[in-house]
Amino acid sequence: MALSCQAQQVVQGPGGDLKIVVVQGEGALNNIRTRSAAPLIVEVRDTSDKPVIGAEVVFQLPPAGPGGVFNGWMRTQTARTNTEGRAETNGFTPNDEAGRFNIKVTATSGNKSSSAIISQTNTPSGTGGNGKQVKSKHNLLTVVLLVGAAGLAGGIVAATRGGSSTPPTPPTPITVTAGPITIGGPR
């Protein structure tokens, strides 16, 4: 059985009924700007470490704060494990709130069950949607262009608002002098 080369998290239920192995999605960084997210894939195994076929797996997103939705509006998604014991989500989109959040995963097969937590983070940018950090030259170029444009705009404002090298001429003073005082009859 081939597993992803990504580090896996194994969680066993309180009674040791089932094991949930997080195959993909643990520690992923989701891009809220492009609304791209890492897929969530888990593998359900029995106490003999064999894949459990047909187990019901519920993925539950947080009701508020950083997180997202499945297929545009749902906070939970239910999937069945395949012949490898794997279940995965589809249609997961991060919301626009940056920060860390947990996805609760519950697996049930007959009267056996287990749960696990998958931790992810929504970031303003920086992922390719596969959970791996991507350095973007485009973002650096955008910052450089914005700083340059701001400097150019400041120069234009200074030039049009008296920013020349010759000092302005001082205003001509106005003086008031009193004339002779005369007293006379009514006019």
pLDDT digits (tens, 9 = 90+) for 83-118: 999 999 999 999 999 999 999 999 999 999 999 999
Q: With 0-12 CB in 10 A as exposed, 13-18 as middle and 19+ as buried, what is 184?
A: exposed
pLDDT in tens, 21-63: 999 999 999 999 999 998 899 999 999 999 999 999 999 999 9
* pLDDT for res 136: 38
In terms of pTM, does the model score above 0.85?
Answer: no
* pLDDT for res 7: 47
What is the DSSP secondary structure assignment for residue 51, as one 8-state letter?
B
E strands, the chain, in order: 9-12, 19-24, 28-31, 41-45, 56-60, 68-70, 76-80, 86-88, 92-94, 99-109, 112-123
CA–CA distances in Å: residue 22 to residues 8, 33, 50: 5, 26, 15
* pLDDT for res 100: 97
